Amino acid sequence: MVRIFLTGYMGAGKTTLGKAFARKLNVAFIDLDWYIEERFHKTVGELFAERGETGFRELERNILHEVAEFENVVISTGGGAPCFFDNMEFMNRAGKTVFLDVHPDVLFRRLRVAKQQRPILQGKEDD
């Protein structure tokens, strides 16, 4: 049984690498944010706006527990998922966790061009 959680800062490449990794292992791939959007028929941005960060993080935790029941899967978590509640400890117990460590300069370049798609970065200046 394979259950791998990919963690890392937003923009680290969890989704991109997760898809390739799952394909190589011949297992399913789940992007936690996409799964949430599909389930609630709303974007992460809309859920953030409606529920606030605390409400979104509670929802994210519940869905994380749900997908952690799946077997033979690579799960790309949201960038903040490991930072809230007991999510990191939970993932460590439920499967293998992999942290994608990306240099801050690379993250800055990636996030700078995509900040409109990232609710937590909207309205922020480069500083």
Question: What are the 10-residue block averages of pLDDT along the chain, 127 residues in total?
Answer: 96 96 98 97 93 96 98 95 97 98 92 74 75
Structural domain count, the chain: 1
Domain presence at residue 127? no
Q: Say which CATH number the domain at 112 has.
A: 3.40.50.300
Domain presence at residue 78? yes
Domain presence at residue 125? no
Domain presence at residue 110? yes
User: Residue 42 belongs to what domain range?
Assistant: 3-120
| Predicted pLDDT at 32 | 98
3-state secondary structure the chain: CCEEEEECCCCCCHHHHHHHHHHHHCCEEEEHHHHHHHHHCCCHHHHHHHHHHHHHHHHHHHHHHHHCCCCCEEEECCCCHHHCCCHHHHHHHHCEEEECCCCHHHHHHHHHHHHHHCHHHCCCCCC
| Predicted pLDDT at 8 | 96
